[in-house]
Amino acid sequence: MRAAVWYGPGKLEIQQIEEPACGRNDLMLQVLRCNICGSDLRTYLSGSSSIKPGTVLGHEFIGRVLRAPDWSGFSAGHLVTAAQDIPCEHCWYCLHDMEHLCENKLEFGKHFQGAFAEYMVIPEIALRKGWVKRVPETMTENQATLIEPVSSCVHTQSIVSFKPSENVLIIGGGPIGCIHGELVKHAGAEAIVLADLSEARLESAKRFGFTSYVNASSVKLIDYVRENFPQGMDKVISANPSPDALAEAIQLVRKRGIVVAFGGLPKDNFTVQADGNKIHYDEITLTGSYAYSRKENDLAFEYVSAGVISADQYITSVYPLEEIVEGMKAAQRAEGLKVQIKIS
């Protein structure tokens, strides 16, 4: 089968490789589409300490079932998508209702081959534990491929309660920043400010109708916030891969404000120089937000189905598998939103 195989930073090759082995209790899929996630781009560009060369990346996918075990409830022809991580269900975190922080979790595009390939195997463990979702006929392919990233953003909503009438700043106008914006809007925020360094990206994000858009390469965010929200923002979500942006976010919230560190940082640039006194005297809460539970994955499915997330607005370019490197470069240029790879 054709697959995009990752061999290290900047090395992604389309190759003919063997079809993955599909056990009696596994599910075999023909991959239709898979979106490029920020983490795929980060791995492609700068590598990953936990992904081995020779891995097929990709986890925001929709596929058609070719064969499935009888007990699974799936059968040939069904369209499905799946969560990226499969927790073990027996470590301390799994037993304490924090399965997303599982010590032994298995991931597509890391422990299992991912979806930038013609075929993909969903292992029995993912089927048994309910991490695979049937895509109904009423759902578009674009909607299905967004359930995974929306789940991560829904998780932020369960860590931090966003209340009506709040003002929220999101630093990072990529797809994740926009998903956060739509969820915060759904929660009733009064003002949603989206900041990014790329004018093209801000232009793309205007389709979501947030309150304001700030180009942080020409306007200092601190000046913008002082002028428009003199007390500071109620909440700031840092949805980008920059340690400086996270340090800045801490300066931008009001007393008792909350800062969410959403974006993973590059493995060679993750140290944040933060103002400890601001955190102390202003009683700032700084929290990470990473991955999601099965309940949050279900809620993301509902939000996407109900149109809380305007899925079709996110896919701004589509490349065939053969041109995945071009797709990665387009994602890196950060002009549009999601880049999708069409596989079958």
Task: Give the binding site for Zn ion (CB under 5 A).
Answer: 37, 87-88, 91, 94, 102
With beta carbons less than 8 A apart as the criterion, state whether 225 and 169 touch.
yes
Dihedrals phi, psi of 244, to nearest 5 degrees:
-65, -40
For Zn ion, the closer CB: 42 or 201: 42
Q: Please, what is the minimum distance in Å from the beta carbon of residue 211 to Zn ion?
A: 27
Nearest distance from C-beta of residue 238 to Zn ion, angstroms? 17
Which pair of tokens denotes residue 319?
């490349």
Residues comprising the chain, all counted? 344
In the complex, minimum distance from the CB of residue 228 to Zn ion, in angstroms, rounded to a whole number: 32
Q: Which is nearer to Zn ion, 99 or 196 (CB)?
A: 99
Query: Which CB atom, from 22 or from 62, has the smaller least distance to Zn ion?
Result: 62
Place of tokens 């950060």: 334
Q: Minimum distance between the CB of residue 87 and Zn ion, rounded to whole angstroms? A: 5
Instruction: Please give the single-letter amino acid code of residue 45.
Output: L
The CB-of-186 to Zn ion minimum distance in angstroms stands at: 21
Helix (H) or strand (E) holding 81: strand 79-82
Nearer to Zn ion, 88 or 279 (CB): 88
Cα(297)–Cα(152) distance, integer angstroms: 8
In a 3-state reduction of DSSP, which class is residue 79? strand
Nearest residue (CB) to Zn ion, 36 versus 121: 36
- The least CB distance from residue 88 to Zn ion, in Å, is 4
Is residue 52 classed as helix, strand or coil in its secondary structure? Answer: coil
d(CA 126, CA 304): 21
Residue 50, CA distances (Å) to 11, 91, 109 in order: 16, 20, 10
Nearest to 233 by CA among 243, 245, 222: 222
Min separation Cβ 303 and Zn ion, Å:
16
Cβ atoms of 219 and 197 closer than 8 Å: no
Nearer to Zn ion, 37 or 184 (CB): 37
Cβ proximity to Zn ion: between 87 and 336 the closer is 87
| 84, 59 Cβ separation under 8 angstroms | yes
Where helices occur in the chain by DSSP H, the ranges are: 38-46, 92-95, 124-128, 141-159, 175-186, 199-205, 221-228, 243-252, 276-281, 294-306, 324-333
> Could you tell me the smallest distance in angstroms from the CB atom of residue 34 to Zn ion?
10
- Minimum gap (Å) between residue 60 Cβ and Zn ion: 6
Please name the residues in contact with 307: beta carbons below 8 A apart, sequence gap of 6 or more: none
Structure tokens at 125: 């463990």
Instruction: Determine the Cα–Cα distance for residues 171 and 202; give it in Å rounded to an integer.
Output: 11
Which one, 37 or 121, has the nearer CB to Zn ion? 37
**Residue 17 or 88 with smaller CB distance to Zn ion:** 88
User: What tokens were used for 160?
Assistant: 């931090």
